Amino acid sequence: MTTQVVVFGVEGDDGLWLADLGTGTVTRIAEPLTGALASANQHRNAGATVVKGVNFAVRANSAGSVSGGFMDG
């Protein structure tokens, strides 16, 4: 199996994060960003939503709320 990682940003936080699904770790990506990643982050910080290769992502207020029906209603 190939290693799978996800790069993501959270609204209200200008930085980007790297989640390594194989190791179960999440780390902040060091600045300065370059190339296409920097460009995508600039668009994101200006209000755009950039999605590629991810088909479900939702921000929750806490880990407990994920299993507690945070998407109900």
Rounded Cα distance between 61 and 21, Å, is 21
Q: Identify whether 30 is part of a domain.
A: yes
Closest of 44, 45, 41 to residue 30, by C-alpha = 41
DSSP E strands in 5-72: the ranges are 5-8, 17-20, 25-28
Q: Identify whether 34 is part of a domain.
A: yes
Rounded Cα distance between 19 and 6, Å, is 5
Q: Identify whether 73 is part of a domain.
A: no
Q: Domain span at residue 19?
A: 5-67
Q: Identify whether 39 is part of a domain.
A: yes
Q: How many domains does the chain have?
A: 1
For tokens 């460009």, name the residue.
39
**pTM for this prediction:** 0.81
List all residues 6 or more positions away from 15 whose beta carbon is below 8 Å from its beta carbon: 9, 28, 29, 31
Residue-wise pLDDT tens for the chain (73 aa)?
677 999 999 999 999 999 999 999 999 999 999 999 999 999 999 999 999 999 988 888 888 777 776 665 4
Q: Identify whether 36 is part of a domain.
A: yes
Q: Identify whether 20 is part of a domain.
A: yes
